[in-house]
Amino acid sequence: MAVIVIATFFSIFYLMASAFAGPRKEEYLVSLSCNSSDCFKIEGLLGASLNSRVKPCDDFKAYVTSRWLPDPRSQVTEQWKHQWHVKYAWLRMLADEIRSRPYSTTPLGAMVANSFRACENRSTENTEETRRLFKQLMRNLSVPWPEVPPRDADPFEAHLNLCVRWNMPLWFDVTLLPGRTAAGRQRIYIGPSVYAKFWRSQYSSMNSDSVVSQYLNQYLANFLDQNDTGHKAQTVDYKKVFNFTKQVVFKLEAVHANKGPEFFSFETLANALGQNPDRFVSLMNQYFRPKNAFVRDDVAIVKKKETTEVARYITANHDPALVLSHLGWWVLQIYAPIADARFFVQKYGSNELADLLRPLFCETQMESSFKILLLSKHVALNFPFRVRQDIDGVLQNVREEAANMYEESNLAPSMSSSLAQKIRDMRVDLWPKPKYSSKSQLQKIYTSHNTTRKTTLDHWITERKANADLIGTEAYFEDKRLPHSFSKDSVYYDTLLNAVSMSMIVAHDPFYYANGEAAINYGGLGAAFSKTIVEGITTEIDAKKSGPVELADANSSLTTEDNETVMVSLPIAGFLPAFRAFQAHKRGSPGLHGFSPEQLFFISYCHTQTRIRPAADCNKELQGVADFVSAFQCDKGSRMNP
């Protein structure tokens, strides 16, 4: 593993050296004490990635990133993301892990490897047969495209089926929560569309009739089958469906910016969605299949306001056939590469990019199908107990420092103590629970995921059906607890559930080095965690208050009161709890390669934030901050110390 990592570092360095003028690599790797892969990576961070031609007090972001980050005026390319974006680095790492020979030595590992190979290598697949089977699946789901959908299908039911049983949360995402309310009611949690943000950007880029026509024709050429005599009688108005989908996507994306939450009983939720309450409860029982049947008084927690209004607008204000065609069109756009490998080229723009990124797409599908298994195996291979303990220690120290800072803030005493306690009680979701390291436990979960069929569509259908059968089990709740590594936010704080979801991405470099300096680990992993906490708490302070989830009582209306909270501006920068935690635990570190520990912290912070979000502005965050100014001794009047 160390050899692979070192080789990866040198390949990255070679690309960097060819792209930027600068000293030879030997001048960077001057240390004779590099005996671990982490040491080589840190050498790269402090040598090859910094631009010594820029003074840190003049433009700190340029100093840290300008040698490898694209010009902010240009669009970030997929090639750059593949090389530098940490999410893509994770996907590459997991893809290599699945391909490795040791992975296939166990039945469970072989099952994942077989599914991955079927997705990655489509050369022997009968494309026409796979496409035919995918079209039949869409018919079975009542969302065919470009055919006219069945007249008797209900769009709301079709979406609920896609969302719950097939893990395609187009309009909203709905999950079952473990446990019950104080009144003994079951609970579901409804979040905004997970696809809307990405597809808004896609639709926004198609701004002319010719571009839209060209885009539609690519799908029609492959999915409008003139030889299918049984299903070619009538087709939909493609452009009308396209424009309606665009309108829906824009409305769904806007929901993400709204405040929340809202509480409903199943009865009031059904009314808000424009559905008959008895039929709504019946559909929820049909698709969730809970051990104890849902009733009208069970609880729904809707994360963002206007989620129900947009869903009702879609179903109540439009022809059902149009809505069903919209669902089919959206599903097809997302999953066309499963049905036809040629859509990798359409998705990524060229054969070269398709070959480069297909394995990463396939890894995302493996993670959706086998998340607990993949992450448990990855932890066993890469995170010995000592390393996990150290990572947990960083997070605990940052959490405690954040709680202390809120206790000492200028908020009202009752609020400051309440927020501090909330932070201390916060659940952090990073590692799979220990019980899922058991082979027998994993075998019990994933036995039904196996298939002897060969195509990626066969694997995909089998795995989605098997995951649907887990709904309501401990494995279902564990799968939902662990974040998917390609979700929008690698670290996300759900203040309503008081849980931080941390993708395992941030337990790897450049956020964390098992043999690295504390300053670098606190500036990367620690600051990513603390920034998420501070942003979540700040949003909560600024939001209208709602009762905690545990007190949601189905005997009341469950609608929240609009009690305005006092707008308070807290002088807490997102990185500050991590910096304070680092200062308390740096244990007399002398620094590294001429950089003080404090300088290392800020370099790591700026580097990691831009590796995950290139537009991140660490200049704005650090400008005038006393700790930063002191670390780099910025003169008064310089850009970073105005």
Residue indicated by tokens 């179903």: 315
pLDDT at 560: 38
| Cα–Cα separations (whole angstroms), residue 598 to 184, 619, 630 | 51, 16, 9
Is the pLDDT at 231 greater than 70? The verdict is: no
Of the candidates 64, 85, 200, the one whose C-alpha atom is nearest the C-alpha of residue 613 is 85
Q: Averaged over 333-352, what is the pLDDT?
A: 89
Contact assessment for residue 530 and residue 577, using Cβ atoms and an 8 Å cutoff: yes
Are 383 and 93 in contact, with CB atoms under 8 Å apart? no
Average pLDDT over residues 185-205: 95
Q: What average pLDDT does range 608-620 have in this prediction? A: 93
Which residue type, as a one-letter code, is found at position 189?
Y
Q: How confident is the model at residue 543 (pLDDT cuts 50, 70, 90)?
A: low
Is the alpha carbon torsion for 615, 603, 611, 18 positive or negative?
positive
- Taking residues 211-225, what's their average pLDDT? 90
Amino acid at 515: N
Instruction: Give the angle subtended at the CA of 587 by the CAs of 582 and 588, to the nearest 5°.
Output: 110
Q: Is the pTM of this model over 0.95?
A: no
The pLDDT-based confidence of 571 (bands split at 50, 70, 90) is: low
Residues 6 or more apart whose Cβ sits within 8 Å of residue 323: 155, 314, 315
Rounded to whole angstroms, what are the CA distances from 200 to 50, 210, 247? 35, 19, 9
The percentage of the chain sitting over the pLDDT mark of 70, rounded to a whole number, equals: 87
CB 428 within 8 A of CB 502: yes
Q: What is the mean pLDDT of residues 83-92?
A: 92
Residue, of 17 and 445, whose pLDDT is higher: 445
**Burial class of 574 by CB neighbour count within 10 A (0 to 12, 13 to 18, 19+):** buried
Residue type, 194: V
Residue-level pLDDT at 23: 33
DSSP state letters, 239-262 = HHHHHHHHHHHHHHHHHTTS---E
In order, the DSSP letters of 106-151 are SHHHHHHHHHHHHHH--TTS-HHHHHHHHHHHHHHTT--SSBPPPT
Q: Is 527 exposed, middle or buried (0-12, 13-18, 19+ CB in 10 A)?
A: buried
Pick from 197-211, 217-231, 258-272, 599-613: least confident: 217-231
- Does residue 230 register a pLDDT over 60? no
Q: Is residue 400 within 8 Å of 581, Cβ to Cβ?
A: yes
Q: How confident is the model at residue 28 (pLDDT cuts 50, 70, 90)?
A: very low
Supply the pLDDT for residue 35.
Answer: 45
Please, which pLDDT band fits residue 547 given cuts at 50, 70 and 90?
Answer: very low
Q: Is the pLDDT of residue 14 over 50?
A: no
Q: How many CB atoms lie within 10 A of CB 199?
A: 21
Place of tokens 């879609």: 314
When pLDDT is cut at 50, 70 and 90, the band that residue 588 belongs to is: low
Confidence of residue 556 (pLDDT cuts 50, 70, 90): very low
Structure tokens at 298: 């069970």
Q: Are 445 and 437 in contact (CB under 8 A)?
A: no
CATH of domain 127-340: 1.10.1380.10
**For the packed helices 385-407 and 576-585, what is the interaxial angle rounded to 10 degrees?**
120
d(C-alpha 314, C-alpha 306), whole Å: 12
Which run of H or of E encompasses 548?
A: none
Query: If you average pLDDT over residues 487-494, what whole number do you get?
Result: 90
Average pLDDT, the chain: 87
Identify which has the larger pLDDT, 632 or 562: 632
DSSP codes of every residue in 57-80: TT-HHHHHHTTTSPPTTSPPPHHH
- Per-residue pLDDT, 549: 41
pLDDT at 554: 37
Give the rounded distance of the alpha carbon of 22 from its chain centre.
Answer: 36
For residues 113 and 211, give the distance between their C-alpha atoms in angstroms, rounded to a whole number.
38
Mean pLDDT within 602-623: 94
Q: 19-28, 92-101, 560-569 — which is least confidently predicted?
A: 19-28
Name which of 483, 591, 489 is nearest 533 in CA terms. 489
Residue-wise pLDDT tens digits, 102-154? 888 999 999 999 999 999 998 888 999 999 999 999 999 999 999 999 999 99
Would the pLDDT of 71 be above 70?
yes
The pair of structure tokens assigned to 489 is: 């936010």
Contacts of 495 (CB under 8 A, 6+ apart): 536, 537, 539, 540
pLDDT average, residue stretch 58-63: 96
Those residues whose C-beta lies under 8 Å from the C-beta of residue 58, and which sit 6 or more positions away, are 638, 639, 640
Q: pLDDT confidence of 440, banded at 50, 70, 90?
A: very high
Q: Where are the alpha helices (DSSP H) in 224-305?
A: 238-255, 266-272, 277-288
Which of helix, strand or coil describes residue 176? strand
Q: What is the pLDDT of residue 49?
A: 86
Reduced to 3 states (helix: H, G, I; strand: E, B; else coil), residue 172 is strand
DSSP string, 456-502: HHHHHHHHHHHHHTTTTSHHHHHHHHSPPTTSS-SEEEETTTTEEEE
At residue 341, the 3 state secondary structure works out as: coil
- Min mean pLDDT across 71-75, 208-212, 350-354 is at 71-75
pLDDT at residue 37, rounded to an integer: 60
Indicate the burial class of 639 (C-beta count within 10 angstroms; 0-12, 13-18, 19 or more): middle
Mean pLDDT of 317-324: 96
Beta bridge partners of 501: 429, 492
Task: Give me the mean pLDDT over the 438-467 stretch.
Answer: 94
Domains of the chain, by residue range, sit at 127-340, 393-424+482-613
**Domain 393-424+482-613's class?**
alpha beta
Pairing of strands 427-429, 499-502: parallel
